[in-house]
Chains A and B, each alone.
Chain A
Amino acid sequence: MGSMGNRKALEMVRSMPRVSFVNIRDNPGSKKQKKIRGQGGSRGGESGRGRSGKSKRDTRPPIGYEGGTTPFYLRIPMFPFYKNFATRRQYLPVSLEKLQHLIDMGRIDPEEPIDVTSFVHAGAVRINVFDRVYGIHLTDEGADKFVAPVNLEVQWTSELSIAAVERSGGTISLGYYDPQSLDILSHPLQFFRRGQPIPKRLLPPKDLVDMYTDPSKRGYLSDPNQIKEDRLLLAQKFGYELPDLTKGSRRALHRLRKDPRQIFFGLQPGWIINLTDRAVLKPVDAELQEFYRA
């Protein structure tokens, strides 16, 4: 179909040989010719370095030299903006609004406990422990819209988000995962394929112990009785009625907590997963059991 010109062009193309390196050429102007060091326009002989001078003799002053005055980079005093930058911990943000959206869309199940794995499988975050990511930071954007009663475990949060979660009849706790455990938690299937026993989750380092033992931050190592008191205080502070979690169909869900040495719910350290035969293998030896329970 088309004009005579198109039809003729198509007939021509049909009769032409196959396209290969032999009958292909770059568009004019697409490739610029490299500078020639030999007898080019300037008659050569200088190896591209020009006539006598400091540029030819490699005696130029260092970068930043200002002809004798104190250079800018020496005038300004040093400030350690990036000191210990590579060792700083990152917590990837997920807002309460996002969490509510994921629950509404069915990508996160509120009837199951929610942890890092749920967020990764829902596509909310991508965790790479080699970027010094230590978990998830629950931000308080969308705290007014949040209504889902959930059992939530994150690694960093604020007072307002704790209040928002507890007001809607949920529980929130802060749990520490060392980089290896976090990697396993974020990509469980990849880990199960290795055939390695589930390792023990390590305890938090010194500078994080205060946070994870603090009941006001709902740390997983803090006293549950103190958490109970703090829930009441928070409800009074923000002015909402604290729902009773001991009653209702979700009672069992809200009681679920991981052991400090446990990475996955229902699976203990030391167990090996056999994906082919759909089985879980548990060591019987007393020494091994003692090691994994320590």
Chain B
Amino acid sequence: MKMALFARTLSNAVSRYVLPKYDAILSSQLQAIQTRSLPIVWSSTTWHQEFYNSKTDLVDESEERTKYLESKEDFKYVERLIPSLEVPEPPKHDSYPTPSGWSPPKGSPEGLPYHVRRTRYHSHPVSIQQKHGGNQIWTIVKNVDGDIWTFGDKLLEHLEEVKGAEVGMTINEYAKRVFYKGVFKDDVIKWLENEGF
């Protein structure tokens, strides 16, 4: 009964819940979420249990409401729990590569006809695609700006040297992606780092 009263004292306060600072970020981030350029870390769990049952726990409005203390200082513990909607910039390290093996782009030499952008998480845009239960494996390089054909041929030369045999290649110019048949993720990443991307 008391818990029901406790909740009712706050029903007005909690009706509008969005932080003003959070609201400003939210509107811009909602647009970004629609274009699928940000991480979505919320899940759609539904643990909406009724705090009080309006049929059985009838609240007598004439009864005195329970008292409570308001604390603004303790809100700092809540602020820590609100997630940032932006991917943070990596902090500056004393030396690269970092213990996990990451290093920022060195910068490619001027005059290169192509450029490979990092992903929004600051990593190389190289991934493995498996189809038909793993019978078909491709290494994909995305975000290739500029002359994608020259880039594809150059990297193909290197991968054929690594493998010692022919390597299949497909270029999707419109999507700025290059596909290499086989597992070459580590080799491609090393090559991209050498190029300065």
Interface residues of A (CB under 8 A from B): 97, 100-101, 103-107, 112, 117, 120-121, 123, 126-130, 142, 145-148, 180, 183-184, 186-190, 192-197, 264-267, 271-285, 287-288
Contacts and interface: CB of A to CB of B under 8 A. Distances in A.
Contacts of B66: 283-285, 288
A279 B78 CA distance: 9
Chain B CB count within 10 A is highest, among A104, A186, A195, for A104
Contact of B10 (A184, A274, A285): A274
A106 B10 contact: no
Given A112-B80, A274-B14, 7 more contacts: A97-B100, A105-B102, A183-B47, A266-B76, A266-B80, A279-B75, A284-B68
A100 B100 contact: yes
Given A195-B10, A274-B10, A105 B122 contact: yes
A188 B75 CA distance: 13
Contacts of B19: 275-276, 278
B91 A121 contact: no
Given A123-B41, A188-B81, A188-B82, A281 B91 contact: no
B134 interface: no
Contact of B17 (A101, A142, A193): A193
B47 A280 contact: no
Contact of B102 (A104, A193, A274): A104
Nearest to A117: B81
A285 B67 contact: yes
Interface in B89-108: 89-91, 93, 98-102
Given A121-B83, A187-B45, A276 B16 contact: yes
Contacts of A128: 43, 45
Contacts of B6: 197, 272, 283, 285, 288
B163 interface: no
B75 A126 contact: no
B74 A266 contact: yes
A205 B47 CA distance: 21
Contact of B121 (A105, A196, A271): A105
B10 A281 contact: yes
Contacts of B100: 97, 100-101, 103-104, 142, 145
A97 B102 CA distance: 11
A63 B90 CA distance: 60
B102 A282 contact: no
A194 B67 contact: no
Nearest to B98: A104
A126 B71 contact: no
A146 B99 contact: yes
Interface string B7-18: 100110110111
Contact of A276 (B14, B68, B77): B14
Contacts of A129: 45, 47
Contacts of B90: 104-106
30 contacts: A97-B100, A103-B100, A104-B102, A105-B102, A107-B87, A107-B88, A120-B41, A129-B45, A130-B45, A147-B99, A187-B42, A190-B45, A193-B14, A197-B7, A264-B77, A266-B74, A271-B74, A272-B14, A272-B68, A274-B70, A275-B14, A275-B18, A276-B13, A276-B16, A278-B19, A279-B75, A281-B71, A284-B67, A288-B2, A288-B6
Contacts of A107: 87-88
B113 interface: no
A266 B77 contact: yes
A121 B7 CA distance: 29
